[in-house]
Structure 1
Amino acid sequence: MKLYTTTSKSPVGPLRLYANEGALTAIYLENHKRAPVLVASEGDGHPVLREAQRQLEEYFAGGRVSFDLPLEPVGTPFQHMVWKALREIPLGVTWSYAGLARHIGREGASRAVGSANARNPLSIVVPCHRVVGTSGKLTGYAGGVPTKQWLLEHEQRMRGHSPSAGFDALSSDRRSAPGAP
């Protein structure tokens, strides 16, 4: 399968976007942990990459709360189940790994959920940054914990919450969110 790539500027650093002929396959942050080395042709004019860049720019400007892109990440069936569930977490809301495991009907699979979350190839668009430890503590993120914190604070600002309130304020969102674990 032929891949195309482009780099997009963002407030969290350069993002490397990848797409096949018709769908976005990956978005990697600079210094992304576990990012594979992919062979791809330069795709500055690729329609999926252009649309992904446009939607990411809107998100970072505070005008987009969800993404509408064709996605084809490579992963196992379990990883796809977790990545689909990640897209169900509302903007500015956090779920715990245990809560995400319960949500997909795999209570007790927190570690497996964490592993799938860590291998999410579509950073930001598939919002793995919205998953935190059971205590609400920010845990690892492929782009680094400071990037995770920035993304969560950005989303809180978009929702109209004060980022200075800290992440304890997210607990009430988590409990009140429809379908939230």
Structure 2
Amino acid sequence: MLYLLRHDNEEIGVTCCKTFADLTRGMRTLNEEVFAEYMSILLTLHDNLKQLTVEALSEESPELDPNTSLPAIRSFKVATEMDFLLVPFLQFNRSLVVTHLPTIIPRLLEFLEVQSPAQLKAREDSEAMGEIWAGMAPTIKNAQIYTDYVVAQLKCTSSLVFIVRGLPEQYDAEGEKLVLTMLRLFQDCPALAITARKVNSYSK
């Protein structure tokens, strides 16, 4: 499954993550070597998503075939599942996961700062006019990828809220960042994106 997350498409990647979730709940244990490789894939994935956001969600981005399945290692759908898996990993293997938190938390926060260039411009232009922008920018050509991007950031936020609560006071500032990120995502959520709006509701 780890190999498939690196080398197969996003549909297979999502299936692998759901299988990982089932195994974690059933076995309630996690091998150090497996988790280290999982983290390596997760961090590589988040690095790739920064580039994908610019390539697919800028004003000048080409329109992509919505039926095309992206590589798992460059997929917001897979990021949604992998970030969510950190919660059961922490629940059932706290001593193992806690040692990785100094690496995990900054990288996930870094991912939450990644914004669609077209969406950012629409928001800034609206604010310059004294207005508040809400919804998806009309200049975004790849609506499905944008929706997947919003859902991925929402799930990442939810996972981080779970991870940082109960941690030392040094993580209080991260909590404030998460609140601001959630407010932005409320604004950015597409009007017709039912899945994203459900995630928003659960996150509250």
TM-score range, shorter chain: 0.3 to 0.5
Structure with more relative contact order (C-alpha pairs < 8 Å, separation 6 or more): 2
More helix by share: 2
TM-score normalised by structure 1 residue count: 0.33
